Amino acid sequence: MTCDAEELRLRLPHIELAAQAYGPAQGAPVIALHGWLDNAATFARLAPKLNGMRIIAVDFAGHGHSDHRPPGGGYALWDYVHDILLVAEQLGWQRFSLLGHSMGAIVALLLAATFPEKVRRLALVDGLIPPTTEADGAVATLAEALQGRLALSAKRKPVYPSVERAALVRQRGVGHVSFEAAQLLAQRGLMSVEGGFTWRTDSRLTLATPLRLTQAHVNAFVGALNCPTNLVLAEQGLLAHRDGLDQLLAATSISVERLPGGHHLHLDDEEGAQLVADCFNPFLSAP
């Protein structure tokens, strides 16, 4: 089941973000963060199943209906953390829970670890830590990123004749999704152009990350978590075979639920969304 969400515009000092709101205005405050190249519609099936929550599902900068960063800007994870801190401030929320999928889960982790006084609970879907690069790989990583940035002006976004065609392509993209899930993401993520439709997302989002965290950095952020955290891992998801993840989790108090499905199990179908909701309803509503 999906339901109509309330559309919001969040005017931050440096950028304007779009968001979708679910649930009663006086519900428990939750900010929901989507994955890379997705948008707030990733929660269209899950959010209506979370009871008693006021869920603000944000389009990250450069995604969905949110503004793009200004020329010369980038999309570092910590910039997203800054944005969400300002979103919470605008909403008047001193303490709130975070619901994150994939990249959104990573941003949620960084925020919760850095500002523990603000985050009540952390609910994560198939995401926790970013890809890492050790110091000896930093030079090559930066070179690749800057070469991509120099070549970006010569690239053009693909144009699709229909929303359905764009959804078919998205279905086969990173983090394979069902066609129905791809349609939900496409309906929010596309815009009309001459000849058809193209994605609203900022082309800079496809560039390689200039500087990645090392494993030691990741360990420090995970170790700094002190709020209750519930991680849903998809059995066919992107973290299913992540090297070192089990050892990392074993050293934490993070509660882990393993559910059938792929990386977008919360969006692919109603059954998967309900399974995730069954994990998060008691967790997010706990005192």
Helix segments in the chain, DSSP class H: 77-91, 103-114, 138-151, 163-171, 179-189, 215-224, 245-250, 265-268, 270-285
Q: Say how far apart CA 88 and CA 134 lie, in whole Å.
A: 33
Q: Does residue 88 belong to any structural domain of this protein?
A: yes
Which two structure tokens, joined as six digits, stand for 282? 């008691």
160-191 residue pLDDT tens: 999 999 999 999 887 789 999 999 999 999 99
Angle between helices 103-114 and 215-224 (to 10 degrees): 60
Q: Domain range for residue 109? A: 6-136+213-285
Identify the residue whose tokens are 């392509």: 169
Q: Does residue 131 belong to any structural domain of this protein?
A: yes
Q: Does residue 44 belong to any structural domain of this protein?
A: yes
Neighbouring C-alpha atoms within 13 Å toward the C-beta of 177: 25
What CATH number has the domain bearing residue 123?
3.40.50.1820
Identify the residue whose tokens are 């979103």: 87
Candidates 155, 95, 151, 144; CA nearest to 119 is 95
> For the chain, how big is the Rg over CA atoms in Å?
18
Which two structure tokens, joined as six digits, stand for 132? 């890492």
Q: Does residue 222 belong to any structural domain of this protein?
A: yes
**What is the CA angle 68-262-96, rounded to 5?**
55
Length of the chain counted residue by residue:
287
Q: What is the set of active-site residues?
A: 102
Q: Does residue 15 belong to any structural domain of this protein?
A: yes
- Please list the pLDDT of the chain residue by residue as tens digits (287 residues): 566 899 999 999 999 999 999 999 999 999 999 999 999 999 999 999 999 999 999 999 999 999 999 998 889 999 999 999 999 999 999 999 999 999 999 999 999 999 999 999 999 999 999 999 999 999 999 999 999 999 998 889 999 999 999 999 999 887 789 999 999 999 999 999 999 999 999 999 999 999 999 999 999 999 999 999 999 999 999 998 888 999 999 999 999 999 999 999 999 999 999 999 999 999 999 98
How many domains does one find in the chain? 1
φ, ψ for residue 10, nearest 5 deg: -115, 110
Q: Does residue 151 belong to any structural domain of this protein?
A: no
Contacts of 162 by beta carbon, 8 Å cutoff, 6+ apart: 196, 197
Which two structure tokens, joined as six digits, stand for 125? 């879907």
Q: Does residue 176 belong to any structural domain of this protein?
A: no
Q: Does residue 147 belong to any structural domain of this protein?
A: no
